[in-house]
Structure 1
Amino acid sequence: MNIWKSLLAVCLLTAMFGCGAGTSKKANQEGTAKQLPRLCVTGTQLVNEQGDTVVLKGVSYGWHQFWPRFYNASTVAYLSEDWGAEVLRASMGVDLDSACYVYKPEFGIKCVTTVVDAAIENNVYAIIDWHSHNLRQEEAKEFFAQMAARYKGVPNVIYEVFNEPVEDSWEQVKAYSVEIIKTIRAIEPEAVILVGCPHWDQDIHLAADDPITGYNNIMYTVHFYANTHGQWLRDRTDYALSKGLPIFISECAGMEASGDGAVNKEEWQNWLDWMQQRSISWVAWSVSDKNETCSMLLPSASSDGNWADQDMKEWGRIVRNELKRQ
């Protein structure tokens, strides 16, 4: 369509100052939600249409196949209105368990689109997260083509093409990511795309030394768990920033990388201060009720939100309080 060609040209020509406004359309066709600013990447920063730096803070849902009960419009409304989440991450489990995407794709798509549609309705951003630790290029291309077609032109939507590579080299992850970016860009020319890096999203220095070229509005993800990942990972990420790599913390928490153990409040605060100083967006893990520290909720928590203090674990209360301080 000519309008999209025009909007892409505007975004490219004005990258120093922001991005084109674009025209939003609602997936649920009700037409009642306000339009959020379209986001672009300028240098290492996420910016709005006026070129102002944008820092998004929010929460990630847990793997959809294990906690589908929270993937509904009511929790989205509650997290955005009561907690103050500005971005919600729909973590579609790709290849673990019999209910994962590769075995039940319709179920995965239903969970993800329910959260994304509700995020649009509630005027917050949504990350569509291909939550996998393995390369599955053909399945990912098919999925993201569907998502890009469904949400083309909707400024709320951010695409995360590979949650956490583990054993794959950066060369492999880069080649995969380029193929998925091509797939999305053939349909959606402007949306922000998040790219993972090896070793559970900690080897960001490898991406910094050999970044993806030829595409705009690309950011790279770093994941941290504060009681495992300390100053060394902040230093490594500072190196990436110094090389001009835009960073988005699409998953983080305050305990050990296992998701368990005590919350290291001092180190969590060090990370908060570091992210604030560098205007880096972050998403905390996770809206789920597993018997582990990083799951924010207890089994007593309602499937629909409106959680009392006694329904939340310490980590859930910490994240909620931090988001409400905005």
Structure 2
Amino acid sequence: MRPSRNWLRSLGGVGTLAAALLLGLTTAPTAPAAPTAAEAPEAAAAVTHEAENAVISQGVVESNHAGFTGSGFVNYNNSTGSHVEWTVNAAQAGSTTLTLRYANGTTVNRPMNITVNGAVVAAGRAFPGTGAWTSWNTATVTADLRAGANTVRATATTANGGPNVDSLATDASGPPPAGRTPVEINGQLKVCGTKLCNQYGKPIQLRGMSTHGLQWYNQCVTTGSLNALATDWNADVLRISMYIQEGGYETDPRRFTDMVHSIIEQATARGMYAIVDWHMLTPGDPHHNLARAKTFFTEIAQRHGNKNNLLYEIANEPSGVSWSRIKSYAEQLIPVIRQNDPDTPVLVGTRAWSSLGVSEGASETEIVTSPVNASNIMYTFHFYAASHDSEYLDTLSRAADKLPMFVTEFGTQTASGDGGNNFTRSQQYIDLMASKKISWVNWNYSDDSRSGAVFKDGTCNSNGPWTGTGPLKPAGVWVRDRIRSADNFPTG
């Protein structure tokens, strides 16, 4: 909320960009629900996971050879270790057949190791020539999957790289058993009155974590860290923080959009809600990025609008501009989103670093008297407990009685995201948000050197460990404990 925090945050990623791993796209398609206990189990229908929507390392998506399915295929780099990795959901544990569709226009075999959840299930599986790059064959592997999310990777074992891979099909895909994840229980969310409600029309509270800026800390967003967030922390929601400036989206829109696609799919595979955070910060006028926002959210809504686990946060922290300016931005962008996604709630940033105007001497009254002209929206509030005392707490309390509020960012430290933790004041906010069913997301799920990052320095570059309290700073231990005490999601 304060300029000092904004400046410090951007410095936090210096030196980590070179180590950041580019995340591609992961597909976790929706499948029919698992049979009820009264029904006899049936063989699951085959589900196809397109390669162009998978996590890709040392390869590119192309569409220059006919015969592929979906929107393209993956052309592996000619190098050992290049790979494609899918996330596959299994309704229950058991053996399944994995079918890879591929083309190899050479006469040279391009073998690959096939791994499931990190274990090799087929070493050096042959992918011989198919006669032409437009001739597609299949190769099958039998493997055991666990219930829930599984990672399936196909890795080239020679300097020739892998073949062109079109898709992975599996006969055991499906969502986790009903009721095991927040999304399974709550389904499509909507705003009802001043509350966020589930598919049963009941007010709920989501609790979760925000990533740090993807340009600096995407190495903290891994299979292991997301598994921990979903199953060890029991988080309901992941905020995907994509900065626009400061080395973010504007420098490479395609790369950062693909990162967001990937993380949406990974959150989906784990049954978590995903907040797509358009992290505009400097400059503080959201109109500066309106054209970019229209382009970005059009693609996101087109690809993911049929999902039931998204929320769109369209302006992270406006500053130095009037509420009417922010409102104008929202009223131009929301219709663009609605053209492709009429159902997903939209979260609108508020004045003065999403403080409802308090940090610039205003209050929630300006929004109450002149709300955004759109439905199914909420307004955001950010606080840092060691800096933002009773004035901020009281403002949030009043606003929540009149406006649909969502705390999309908070910390137990000062407004810089650093310094000592004020757990006493933080708990007052937690209690208020619980009493008024205000959903919240904590900043941030990384190993940034400041106290607000939950992991100890070096955790991400060491790829964990991720679970338990051992790798956590004091703020991480505190917030993990509060995320784990989940809301009692009502269904009737």
Instruction: Determine if the TM-score, normalized by the shorter chain, exceeds 0.5.
Output: yes
The reply to whether residue 312 of structure 1 matches residue 460 of structure 2 is no
Matches within 5 A, 1:32-47: 32-34=174-176, 36=184, 37-47=187-197
Look up the match of 2:449. Answer: 291
Does 2:243 correspond to 1:93?
Answer: yes
Q: Tell me the TM-score normalized by structure 2.
A: 0.58
Q: Describe the shift of the 1:110–1:210 C-alpha distance in structure 2 as closer, same or farther (beyond 3 A).
A: same
2:280 corresponds, among 132, 143, 151, to 132
Alpha-carbon distance in structure 2 between the residues aligned to 1:28 and 1:210 = 46
Please tell me whether residue 181 in structure 1 is matched to residue 325 in structure 2: no
1:1-326 correspondence to structure 2 within 5 Å: 25=30, 32-34=174-176, 36=184, 37-97=187-247, 100-133=248-281, 134=284, 135=286, 136-202=289-355, 203=357, 205=364, 206-213=366-373, 215-242=374-401, 244-302=402-460, 304-307=463-466, 309-326=469-486
Structure with a larger share of its residues in helix: 1
Question: As a proportion of its length, which structure holds more strand?
Answer: 2
| Residues in 1 aligned to 2:457 and 2:348: alpha-carbon distance in whole angstroms | 33
Counterpart amino acid of 2:398?
Y
Superposed CA deviations along residues 210-240 of structure 1, whole A, max 9, x for unmatched, are 1112x22100000010111122112222332
Cα gap change, 1:50 to 1:101, in 2 (>3 Å): same
How far has the Cα of 1:107 moved from its partner?
2.1
Structure 2: gaps spanning 5 or more residues: 1-28, 32-47, 51-87, 89-172, 177-182, 358-362, 487-492
* C-alpha displacement of 1:28: 5.5
**Alpha-carbon distance in 1 for matches of 2:478, 2:354:** 23
The Cα offsets for residues 223-280 of structure 1, whole Å up to 9 and x where unpaired, read as 01011112211222233233x3100000011111111111001101101111111111
**SS of 1:223's equivalent?**
strand
What's 2:79 paired with? Answer: none
1:9 is matched with none
CA contact (8 A) 1:59 1:286 kept: yes
> Is the Cα–Cα contact under 8 Å of residues 33 and 120 in structure 1 kept in the other structure?
no
Q: Is the partner of 1:276 in helix, strand or coil?
A: helix
Deviant stretches of 4+, over 3 Å: 24-31, 302-306
Identity of aligned residues (%): 31
Cα 1:309–1:235, aligned 2, differ >3 Å: closer, same or farther? closer
Q: Give the direction of change, closer, same or farther, for the CA distance of 1:123–1:305 in structure 2 (3 Å limit).
A: farther
Residues in 2 aligned to 1:168 and 1:77: alpha-carbon distance in whole angstroms: 40
Structure whose alpha-carbon radius of gyration is higher? 2
